[in-house]
Chain A
Amino acid sequence: MNAEQKGTACPEYEVLLEDHLSGGMDAERAAKIAEHLKACAGCRGALEDATASLGLLRIAEPTPDPGPQFPHLVMARIRAERAEQPSFWQPLVSLSWKFAATAALAFALLFAYDMRAAHQAPSLTAVSMRSATSNDLFGQTEMVQVPANRDEVLMMVSETSTNNDQR
């Protein structure tokens, strides 16, 4: 199918036209495109444009080589980045600091709990002693339970007083 308007290439010939422009086509394809160009004004116009674009772009110059010093700049940047980067052990060190901080907090909480328990200890001992003494009168021994919290202390106190009342 030929293009209706001059300068517009047939889509199925665009690859061939680009190859034609850069040269290096085999004889069979060169003959095919030459035959088509004879009949197609659109492709002829597009090829003229493409050829003119080569002249236009020839004005520009390729990027120059950055010079022999450039690899030294790259290596300096690599060394600087390497110096800034954390070591292999850095994550482990920061993790161990986190562990240490958590352990210290746990220890502080336990210590605070122990201190509070020590404050409550005299009343508990008194309850246990009272309980142990009353049982001893009947020649029985009883396991002295240590209360885990304030509620258990209150329950033990109330149980002990109820037992004493029943007797």
Chain B
Amino acid sequence: MPVPLSRTAIGDAERELVRLAQGGSEPAFETLVRRHQQRVFALVNGILRRREDAEDVVQQVFLKVYISLKRFDQRAAFSTWLYKITVNECWDYLRKKKVRPLVYEADLSEEQVSRLDGAISAERPPQGPSEQAEIRELLDRMLEKLPEEDQQLLVLKEIEGFSVEELAQILDINVNTVKVRLFRARARIMDVYRRRLGSSHRAGPRPAPGERKA
């Protein structure tokens, strides 16, 4: 039975892979790509929210990593360095393409609202892949209504599974700032949700907590 590797052993193995890749070993670099590809994809999707462009951006990220790998001194973890390159590449992409969040003006139908409500409360989970896809699209449409930063934090934390500490490191902000922004982003997504439902749960949209209590 294989013995699970400790965190230190994984870190040591990664450092060795980086060292080999720095020496020009393509198999070592390929292994690094394989190890991190899912997280890099998740990060790119969380920031761009455009899966159709993600593959190209992720390839570009690994190309940049390959080119600048010799300059990486291994003082920080390879993943931290890689995620920073990823974030910068995403900003470059957004700047070059002048991508703006898509705006969905049309409101949801009664049927869609009922499906969404059922899925959220877990009383009526989506039936089959097409309904699942539809529910996810409805959530995407609600996320698109939020400021970009809120979208990114919620998606990266709650959907892609990045920790608060990782987000602080990747986005170069304080851990407590991440927590406050996340908490406010949660309030905003629920506002969007309520507006979509047309519920009388609250009278009209509610500003974010920080905006009211300056």
Residues of A that sit less than 8 Å from B by CB? 3, 5, 7-11, 14-15, 17-19, 21-22, 46, 49-50, 52-66, 68, 70-75, 77-78, 81
Contacts and interface: CB of A to CB of B under 8 A. Distances in A.
Interface in B141-184: 142, 154-155, 158-161, 164, 176, 179-180, 182-184
Interface residues of B, number: 53
Given A14-B184, A56-B139, 5 more contacts: A14-B209, A18-B182, A18-B183, A57-B154, A74-B63
Interface of B: 26, 29-31, 33-34, 37-38, 41-42, 45, 51, 54-55, 58-59, 62-63, 66, 119-122, 126, 135-136, 139-140, 142, 154-155, 158-161, 164, 176, 179-180, 182-184, 186-187, 189-190, 193, 202, 206, 209-210, 212-213
Contacts of A55: 120-122
Given A55-B120, A56-B120, A62-B159, A8 B190 contact: no
B33 to A, nearest CB: 4
Contacts, number: 135
The 9 closest A-B pairs by CB, nearest first: A53-B186, A57-B158, A18-B179, A71-B33, A50-B186, A65-B38, A63-B42, A49-B190, A18-B183
Most buried by A among B29, B159, B176: B159
B63 A62 contact: no
A19 B179 contact: yes
B187 A11 contact: no
A71 B63 CA distance: 11
A46 B30 CA distance: 46
B212 A17 contact: no
B119 A14 contact: no
Contacts of B58: 66, 70
A9 B183 contact: yes
Contacts of B135: 59
A30 to B, nearest CB: 16
Given A3-B213, A15-B179, A66 B38 contact: yes
Nearest to A9: B209
B136 A65 contact: no
